[in-house]
Amino acid sequence: MKLTKLIWPSLLCLVGASSHASALLAPEIGSFAVLSASTVTNTGATTLTGNLGVSNNSSITGITGFFGTLSNDGPGIANGYVHQGNAYATLANSKLMSAKNNLAMMGAGTTLSADLTGLTLTPGTYTVLAGTSNLTGALTLDGGGNANAYWVFQLPSTLITSSSSLVNIINTGSGAGLYWNVGSSATLGENSSFQGNILASASVTMNNGVSIACGRALAHTGAVTMINDTVNAGNCLGTVAAGSNGLSGGLFVDANGGAPQALAFTPVSSVPEPETYAMLLAGLGLIGAAVKRRRAKRA
């Protein structure tokens, strides 16, 4: 894992932001891999890294939480707390709406056609037109060497991906953020390899074998449905954004309000890997030993 894993106070200092500035996704949201306002239904061996919740007292079926209690256990596993109709889940749902409103304040940005397939997009804000599928193949997001890169996709209607579609992120690091601000519902096709935080106004449906390798599935008013899926809202080990807490970086919200602002550019290459630090320290040790020997000979 890169040592660009930074806590939010450190990141905000880098941009010179107010000490009262905060992450776009409040901690209450950031703890969830899946959050629903209605029901959560799972079939098969789904795995969630992060909390699972429903903001009302509706059912959660087909998932066993490691912490908390469930009325219906199942083959799916939530590696986190289960919040079913409690105050924490209700607060998270409220914070989800706040995050959606903040993203909307960033405006339309660059308007793209309905299908993002074949594009390579640099960091920024984009509006995606409605279509039968918003991703039939592969989309590449290139951070340009910025560990704090962000992408915001405004989808006024739906988010739909086709079977075996792919979102690939390159040239960024642990401070990155990726947000899909969906006006109604999101549907991910079978075996889609997706990344980023889905903030849907209504529901989120993940068909069989979907992977959100780094991100979240958040439904403000509707249900979340899963079938043999994977959602990782943790450190996203094995991805280019390892240590990013589910691609929830890139932006901050100032205490005085207004549209979210970008974190300062931090070169990915400026932060050595742990192995590099080890070699550097070993080299300094050898230099120090040589200097001591020379001084001993002169004495």
CA atoms within 13 A on the CB side of 162: 14
Nearest alpha carbon to residue 271 among 5, 10, 14, 12: 5
Euclidean distance between the first and the last CA atom of the chain, given in angstroms as a whole number: 45
Cα angle value 206/5/124 (rounded, 5°): 60
| pLDDT of the residue at 250 | 98
Locate 106 and state its tokens: 């960033």
Domain coordinates in residue numbering, the chain: 8-262, 269-298
Q: Which residues lie closer than 8 Å to 45 by C-beta, 6 or more apart?
A: 75, 76, 77, 228
- The CB density around residue 197, as the number of other CB atoms within 10 Å, is 26
| pLDDT of the residue at 213 | 97
* 131, 105 Cβ separation under 8 angstroms: no
* 193, 175 Cβ separation under 8 angstroms: no
| pLDDT of the residue at 180 | 99
Q: What is the rounded distance in angstroms from the CA atom of residue 131 to the CA atom of residue 28?
A: 32
Q: Is this structure's pTM higher than 0.75?
A: yes
Element (H, E) at 54: strand 51-54
How confident is the chain (299 residues) per 10-residue block, as mean pLDDT? 39 48 94 97 96 91 73 79 94 98 98 99 98 99 98 99 99 98 99 99 99 98 98 92 94 92 90 43 45 50
| pLDDT of the residue at 281 | 40
Q: pLDDT tens digits for 260-278?
A: 999 999 999 754 444 433 4
